[in-house]
Structure 1
Amino acid sequence: MKVQHLLFSQVALAQDLPEYNLKQGNVATIVEHYPMLEGEEDGYSLEGFDLPHVTIEVPASQIIPIAQWQQEEMILAKLCSYLERGCCNYKTISIFSCKNKSLSIRVGSNFETFFK
């Protein structure tokens, strides 16, 4: 089942769009929806990136609801704070990056990136 975002709702970019100099988390408003056939990804037109008179088109996978983005940011901030205070065993968990809103941790010999 496809997730359909409502017209004029605010969304955040799920990934960087370097061709527009936009970053993951930048907020915009949906101004048009382009429904596609089942099995194909819907598209959206976005405006409001502090770029006057600019509209960009993106596939549905490149945007998330603003409430979801804010929740992920809050979880990431709490996790970073917890790890940076030393509330865990740094022999098994090492934090690599919390400053750029991407969290990479090493647990034992495993390496994973969250919220990238």
Structure 2
Amino acid sequence: MDSMFGAISILILCCGIYCLYAYLKMKKDGHINEVLLLGKNFSEHNCKDKKAYMEKAVPAVLIFGIVTTLYGAIDAIHFYVTPIQILDYIAMAVFFVALVWFMVYTTKLKNKYF
């Protein structure tokens, strides 16, 4: 059972790194990461005000990427290096709050700009 949770911690760490990569790529080329922000029923070309959307969405991706990467790293350390249960629980709580915030925030942005 612990190996499954350890694998999940690596998966979360990789998701956080992907979010940071998506942030850097969006800042560099100015294109919306459709996988992370929009979903399959939306396209970047349908955005009403792409510049305003990017100004609001890109910082959210950075915040979520940082929180996800930190939680993934803490969880991986907890399972593979040394048990740090209290810190792991705190990081998990912060991650879940950030996850819910990110989903609600980006959904509101999507509803406003698409």
Is TM (by shorter chain) over 0.5?
A: no
TM-score by length of 2: 0.30
- Name whichever structure is richer in strand by fraction: 1
More helix by share: 2
Higher RCO, Cα 8 Å, sep 6+: 2
